[in-house]
Each structure stands twice: as C-alpha cells, then as structure tokens.
Chains A and B, each alone.
Chain A
C-alpha cells in the first residue's frame, strides 16, 4: 500500500526501524499528511529531537495530546494534527489506577519502591507503555488515526513482546509464592528458591526482597485485568486497520536490520505495509555523466564531486533493490537526503512531499 493510501485509510500506523534512520520524522510526516487529507491524526513520539518537539508544540513533557497549529503550513488543512510525547511513568500510573479495586490499593502500589523503579529498570516497559498509549488513543473518539514511533531500543521490535513480558513479570511465580500464607509458602517454595532468596537478601539486602514481596502483595488480584488489557493491545496490533511501516536507510548495516525487522514482523503474523527508505542521496543528471566528462578530459572539483555522489548513489540503489525484494509485494518509498535537516513543520512538509508523491 502506498503511504498516501495508508494515511487515508488506516486507523493505526506503527513506524519501526533502527536508530538514526529518521523514524520520528517519518511518523510525524504521516500524521501531518493525514491531517491535510481532512483526518484527525495524533502522533505519539518517544524521544523527539528538541527542535522538532518544539515545532510540534511539545516543549514540555505531557502525556496528553496537544493540538499542533497548522495555520502556517501550506494549503488548506481541514483535518487536525495532534502530538504527544510518551511519558512512560504516568502512563503506567494511570493503568494502575484504572485496574486497582480501590484508591487505597492503587496508592499502595504507586508508593512501592519496586514499582517506582519498574518504568525505568524493567526492559520492555517503555515499549509496552507506548503500545498502551496507542490503545488508549485508538479508543479515543477524537482521533481517526494514531501514528506511533517505536522506542530506540537495542531491538526495535521489543514492543511486540512487551505486553507479554510485563504480564509474565506480574505473574512471577517465585515472588507470588511469598505472598501466600506461611504454611503453603513453606511447602511450595523449593529449596533452590529459598537458597536463591537468601542469597538475594545477602547480596542486595533484605529490604529489596521485602519491597518485592510488598509489591506483589499490593498487586494481588490485579494481574487478570492487566493480562486482559495486554491481550486487547495485542489484538489491536493484528487488527486490519493497523499497519506497520518499516523505516530504513540504504546502508548495508541498516539494510540487514530492516530485512530482519520485516522477517520478524512476518513471523509474528504482521505484514509490513510499506518500507520507507530515508536519506537516499539524490541522483544528479544522467547516470555516467562524471565518467563521460572525465573521458573528455575534464578533471575538476565539480566532476570529482559528481563522481563521488554518483558512486554512493549507485551503491544505495543496489541496497534499495535488496530492500524492495525483501519487502515485496509491499511497495518501497524513497525519501532523499535533503540539503538541510528536518526540525520544523516546513521540513516535515518537504519530507511529506516525497513520501506522498504519488
């Protein structure tokens, strides 16, 4: 599907790719284009560059969508562009409050030390909260389209496993056993586990173990709600209205990663709807011009420059072809390396002009 069709028809777009390929820019450009098509679009960014964040009105971290002023962009925009910068901790807090049977229990969890570390120290939490926020915004009748930029982690596809990872954490058997009444606890906790806990106490201190026990006690009865929510988030990911866009650049290392993403998405049952190849060097004039001019005896700086840019352009083209093959039959979209960096709505419009050219 072309980017334009995706922006027009889908209700959720997930942009994934390795760090530094311009994922945030592409995600924001999708939302901007949808707004120009008359839709109400919200982009969820994880860690936007400061100037782009400022341009989107995200000067300070807020966990609720803010409307972006599009009056200075070209053309008549009948739709709406909203943007939000993910606040992992607040998103998690809201989830706890939602599922806690009482305010008191919610407070008990929010004050727990282990809980306070959870959003920073448990890997996958940021990814899970990004998906949680996506689910929440998708259910919000103010938006027709939610575009999400995935976190720049070591494995950019961690978000696929994140919901399951967290529920596994919350279901943790060893620590849940500690919550049980003493007799049952003694029977059920194996010697190995006891040895482990003793060592843990010795190594990290008894209070760490106490915090963990208190946390699982406070969480008692809430796992079911969390599990159900995680299942609904997973269902949303496989909804026909959801599409995955992989963003890559045409360098060998990022090509290898993009091919891995496409493969990994596909084994998880998700199709890549479009592959955006960003930062391609522009092509100049007819191929082989530099060689022709050199043969004709010219050897100045302009010719050397053209020869160098042609050489890199050709190599990128070869990688582009590899990517196109990896993602086929889904289409591949080119976005050139622009002469200047993207950090405002004007820059986003330039990117959008290439992304939605057809």
Chain B
C-alpha cells in the first residue's frame, strides 16, 4: 500500500485485510513506519509492536488478521542477530556505528525490511501480507533499493538478499503495489507520478488504484441543489451547493486520473465520520469487494 500522507493508506490496508480474511485468507498487516492507527480500526486499543498481535480471530469463515511493526531498525537488528552478532548488536546501535554503515550503503535499511517481508512470505504463515509502506516519496526509494544494491554488490549476502527481493517484487503473482489517493488535485498528481516511476524503475506490477473518500452520489441532489435558490432554509441550499461543487471537483479528478493512468479504479465512499472503527471498515470492505467484483476478470483473480 503506497500513497501520500493523509490519503487513508492505513484504512484501506484494513479494508483489504478484512476482505482477504473474509474469503478465508490468513492475513498479516506489516506496519513499516512503526506507529499506526490500525488497532482502533479493529476495535482494539494500544499500538502495534514488533511481535504479532491478533486483530481478528480466525474462524470457520474468517482467515484471521494479525498485525505487527517492522521498522528499518528492527530489521537491521534482526539481521545482525541472524549473523551471530547478537551480543554486541545493542551497543552497535547505541554507539551510532550502525548509522554509519547504513549511510555508507544507501538502501541497506530498505532492503533489510523487504528481505524480512520476503522471509515472512516464504515462511508461509500468512496467505496475504499487506505492507503499509512509507509515504509516497519514500515508497519509491524503498522499492528501488534492491535494484541499486544489486548493481553495487557483485557477491555477498547483501546481493543474495537483493536478488531475492527483486524476485518477489517482479513476480505479479506474489506481489503487487496498490496505490491509494484522494480525489483531489495534489494527491492525484502524486499518484500518477508515482505509478509511472514504480512501473519504470521497479518493474512491480500495479494493482487497481484506490480512490478514497468520495462523496456518495445522492439521487436527485444535483438538480435540487441547482434550483435550491427557492429553498427557505438557507443552510439547506448552501449545503447542497457545497456538496455539488465538491462532487464535481472529485469527478473531474477521477476522470483526469483515469485518463492519465490506465488502471482500474476501486472507489471508496466518504463516510461522514471522523472516527473510523470496525463498523466503518466493514462499510469500506463492502465497497471494496463490490469494486473488485466489477473488475475485468484478469484483475479480479486476487483481492
């Protein structure tokens, strides 16, 4: 999942996880940036940590949803421990020596995170892993890190790691990038730009894009708003015009997106709520599922 800050990446991750679980897939959500608003979306309190937490229990009908964090620092530490440096690893972190190494090798942190995701995938403990990626600008560096390292290293464990990560990223049956946006000028521009760069530079297959927070169409609102000057309640007319104006703007942005980016759009409604919880995630999951069902067959094979 990638997208500009504030577009609802975490919410969409929750809906995708919910949808996958509902068809029996064991789902794991991985949070790269450490902090996340994921738990409240499943009615849980507290924040996620490095060890997995259950957000939705598996049952006859549900595959279940688990979630964890995986920050670059965690991944680096894991890597050291795997390489027999457990005893000194804490000190190496606290002395800042690792900062020097990670700076000397750009993309090292990213490749370790992706490498860890890859080993989670290989471990087979989940049927679907949803990675809540860093905000858009960084998402690209994050995804291109493997290629850069493959060019820089001819031999050694980093090269092996990078090659395996590329194997994961470039196989559309294993991995796809889902981009999320709002139907607004700036996020749409950013999505278009990111989409082309991801395809060109990373060679990752793009899933349908998600357009989040669209004002639902109210039958009859537009003609009513147009003639609302006759209304006696000023607020009623004004509210109608506001929604009408915003909806026109949103429609124009979605049309622009469709023209610039030949990918199907999964459209999620704005829920007129400021506090999203399980009930709202259910609504979004239903909208997402409807969107996926409406996709051409080729795209509908996977959630």
Contact = CB atoms under 8 A, between A and B. Distances in A.
Interface of A: 18-21, 47, 49-52, 113-114, 117-118, 120-122, 152, 154, 168-169, 172-175, 192-193, 195-196, 199-200, 202-205, 208-209, 211-212, 249-254, 256, 282, 284-286, 289-290, 293, 300-306, 308-309, 311-312, 315-316, 319, 339-341, 343
Interface string B87-127: 11001100111011111111110000000000000000000
Interface of B: 4-7, 33-35, 37, 40, 83-85, 87-88, 91-92, 95-97, 99-108, 134-135, 137, 141, 153, 156-158, 184-187, 189-190, 218-221, 224-225, 228, 231, 233-240, 242-243, 245-246, 249, 272-276
Name which of B7, B105, B108, B187 has the most chain A CB atoms within 10 A of its CB: B105
Given A51-B185, A174-B97, A284-B238, A302 B274 contact: no
19 contacts: A49-B190, A51-B185, A120-B141, A152-B5, A172-B97, A196-B85, A200-B101, A209-B104, A256-B37, A282-B238, A284-B234, A284-B236, A300-B224, A302-B231, A304-B218, A308-B272, A339-B242, A341-B185, A341-B249
A315 B274 contact: yes
A208 B99 contact: no
A174 B219 CA distance: 69
Given A154-B35, A154-B134, A252 B276 contact: yes
Given A49-B189, A284-B238, A289-B236, A301 B224 contact: yes
Nearest to B88: A192
B235 A284 contact: yes
A154 B92 contact: no
A312 B224 contact: no
Given A118-B103, A120-B106, A308-B272, A302 B240 contact: yes
A118 B134 CA distance: 19
A192 B4 CA distance: 42
Report whether over half of chain B's contact residues are helix, strand or loop; otherwise say mixed.
helix
A309 B239 contact: yes
Name which of A120, A284, A303 has the most chain B CB atoms within 10 A of its CB: A284
Nearest to A317: B274
A220 to B, nearest CB: 15
Contacts of B83: 199, 203
Given A202-B156, A284-B238, 10 more contacts: A20-B6, A47-B137, A52-B186, A114-B100, A120-B141, A152-B135, A204-B104, A250-B274, A302-B236, A311-B273
A252 B274 contact: yes
Contacts of A52: 186
Contacts of A301: 218-221, 224, 240
